[in-house]
Chain A
């Protein structure tokens, strides 16, 4: 897949959350829950990420009512997410043995 630069933490979690269709606030709640409150995304950050990923074709607008937009991950987004997941898994694997230091 084309995205050469590594994915930011914010993008990774947003794509992860959008495996199921969701709207802005729902995405934030989902990410908070998913990460056990480790990642608390600000609304400014989320809005920026959504705008950018929509432009890059990673997500699509699934439904739109008055002020709320529901997004869903695209195939391109899924591929990028999977690639990032593999990269992260490899990184963790490469670092095996570090547990001893803990």
Chain B
């Protein structure tokens, strides 16, 4: 027997679900099971079948099952119970059979929608509750004040948007799509409830006129698919390799600074050096790490060099990088310093963030004598990077 899966209408459009299943039956696909988004159909002879949906009016902690007594009552009247998922339970009877409609009056059916309606009305509050819970968790696990927590979430978002543009867009699209869908569900459920309450029965075979809804949904689906494809492109563009002896990008090697030694492991680093090169929609960037073992000490340098696609992004992005410093705990711990070759530079002992045209550079530098070093060592490295970018 052939099977088929198809997306069914959402739970808040009762009549459209009934029509959808009837239409499928007349095309030779008989409903077998309803899932969260997909329904399963078995191939059969095309038939005219009346499908009707009963909404489970379960309590808060009950499951969404219909009581046995209810199902058997419906079945004694000539309705066959097919399947149920969540609030939606599907019955069917051949077209023209004597099985009576479920309700004498629309108002009686409205009562069964109360729980579904309430779940939609409560959903935004549940989301807000979890959001507040998350913020509280962030808040209690750090010494930050609430504005600090908001700022670092904001900064983190900004950084993701530059570094992983497509993936971030994908999240934003999916999330806003879900929020819109919820809002629409709220609206439709309340509308249906109101209409039933006023005595207007459910339209069991509504005409297709939800053009706006469908086009918006398609736009979201296409945007989500596009951003997913671009995410794949971003991932493919990601390259990670041992740093070549001569720099192959807008970053420097330690020998440029006059150090002579061999690359080696320190602490628990998994490699002696690395270069990572990535492209997003907003930036092309390099993340590097190099460690040289000298005669009786060592020196190491991290460089993150971003070439942004728009100069307007540089200032905020530099702030986001500072906010996420390795040692500096906040943006305030950086002091603005003049560094030749850069329009602006911010230094905090071992680390620095600097802007030059479309470029934003962040380094963490540990020279051999880092105990005694002031900010000057970092300036020397920045200058070398500025020359490298300029060349």
Binding site for B on A (CB under 8 A): 9-10, 24-25, 28, 39-48, 67-69
Contact = CB atoms under 8 A, between A and B. Distances in A.
Contacts of A28: 77, 100
Contact of A44 (B69, B72, B76, B103): B103
A48 B68 CA distance: 14
Contact of A41 (B104, B109, B111): B104
Given A44-B102, A47-B70, A67-B68, A25 B108 contact: no
Contacts of B74: 43-44
Given A25-B76, A42-B77, A45-B105, 6 more contacts: A10-B108, A25-B77, A41-B104, A42-B102, A42-B104, A44-B54
Please classify how large the interface on chain B is, using the bins under 10, 10 to 19, 20 to 34, 35 or more.
Answer: 20 to 34
A46 B105 CA distance: 11
12 contacts: A9-B104, A24-B76, A28-B100, A39-B104, A42-B104, A43-B73, A43-B100, A43-B102, A44-B54, A44-B74, A45-B102, A67-B68
- Identify the interface centre among A42, A44, A68, A69: most chain B CB within 10 Å of its CB: A44
Nearest to B74: A43
Interface of B is mostly: helix
B79 interface: yes
Contacts of A42: 77, 100-104
Contacts of A40: 100, 104
B112 interface: yes
A62 to B, nearest CB: 14
Contact of A48 (B72, B79, B112): B112
B108 A48 contact: yes
Contacts of B101: 42
A51 to B, nearest CB: 9
A24 B69 CA distance: 9
- Identify the interface centre among A28, A39, A47: most chain B CB within 10 Å of its CB: A47
B108 A43 contact: no
Contacts of A24: 69, 72-73, 76
Interface in B53-80: 54, 68-74, 76-77, 79
A51 B102 CA distance: 15
Contacts of B68: 67
A10 B103 CA distance: 10
B65 to A, nearest CB: 14
